[in-house]
Amino acid sequence: MPRMTEQTTTNVTRVAIAGAAGRMGQRLCALAGEMDGLTLSAAFERPEHAAIGKTAADNSGVTIGDVFKGDADVLIDFTTPAATRALLPACVRHKTAYVIGTTGLTDADHKAIDEAAKSIAIVQAPNMSLGVNLLLNLVAQTAKQLGDDYDIEILEAHHRYKKDAPSGTALAIADSICKATGKNPGTEIVYTRHGDDVVRDRGKITMQTLRMGDTVGEHTAYFSGLGERLELTHIATTRDTFARGALRAAKWLSGKPAGRYTMKDVLGLT
C-alpha cells in the first residue's frame, strides 16, 4: 500500500496560478483540485493586491502570495501582456513549464516565447477550449473550399471589461483562414468599416467587435455567397470551459521536452 501511494503522488502535477484573484484565476484555483492528477501548489497576485494572504480556493490550503517562487511543475497564466513578460523569464529560471492564455501579445512577445521554448515546455493559445480549436480547423477547411466567391466576416463578443480587441480567438480564426487560403493577414484583414464609400473588396476578411455586459465569449465566422450563407459559431457560457482546457494542457505539458506547443498538440488535433 505505501508503494502505491508513493506512485500516485509522483504522478501528480503541481500547478501554480498567476492572477489568482481574477475571474479566470479564481476558477483555475477552484477547479485545479477537482481534476485527477493535478494539485494546486501555488497562487499569486501582483504586489499589494487585496487578495494576498487569503486562501486561493476552498480546502486548497494554498495562500495567495505576491511572487512566483517556482514551486510548481507548471505555471498557468491568464493575466496581462506586461505580467506575462515578467513571468516568462521567471519560468525559464525555475525550469517551470508554462501554459499561456494571455491575449493581446505582440510580435516581440511571441519571439520571446519562441526563445524561452528552447529551454522549457510552453503551451500558448488564445483559447483553450476544445470547441474553439475544432472551430479553427473548420473555418480553414471552409474558406479553402468556398474561395473568394464567398465573403468572410468574423464577429466576436465579450464582456464589458475585456481590454484587448479583437479577441485573440478572433485573430486566430482569421489566421487559420489566411493560412488555408494563402492570404496575407497584414493586408487582407479589415478591422473597421465606416464612411461614405465602404463597398466590400473581394477576398478581404472583415473583423467586428462587440463589448457588452457579462458575455463570456462568442465567435462567429460568416461565409456569405449570393443566395446562401454559412455560419460557424462557438458560444462559451462559462469560463470553466477555458479553465478546464488550461488545466488539461498543464497536465499534458508536465514532463514534456522543451518546445512551443499548441492546444492542437494537447488535444491531438491535426
| Cα(78)–Cα(83) distance, integer angstroms | 9
| Cα(152)–Cα(63) distance, integer angstroms | 47
- Contact status, residue 103 vs residue 126, Cβ threshold 8 Å: yes
Q: Looking at 158, 183, 234, 251, which residue is catalytic? A: 158
Which residues lie below 8 Å from residue 228, measured CB to CB, with a gap of 6+?
none
Give the E-state strand segments of 45-133 in sequence order: 64-65, 74-77, 97-100, 121-124
User: Do you know the residue count of the chain?
Assistant: 270
Q: Could you confirm whether 110 is annotated as catalytic?
A: no
Measured CA distances, 93 to 49, 51, 68, 173, 243 (Å): 24, 26, 11, 33, 25
Q: Looking at 49, 94, 159, 162, which residue is catalytic? A: 162
Sign of CA dihedral 134, 136, 139, 144: negative
Which residue is it, cell 469560463? Answer: 239
Report, as residue numbers or ranges, the catalytic residues: 158, 162
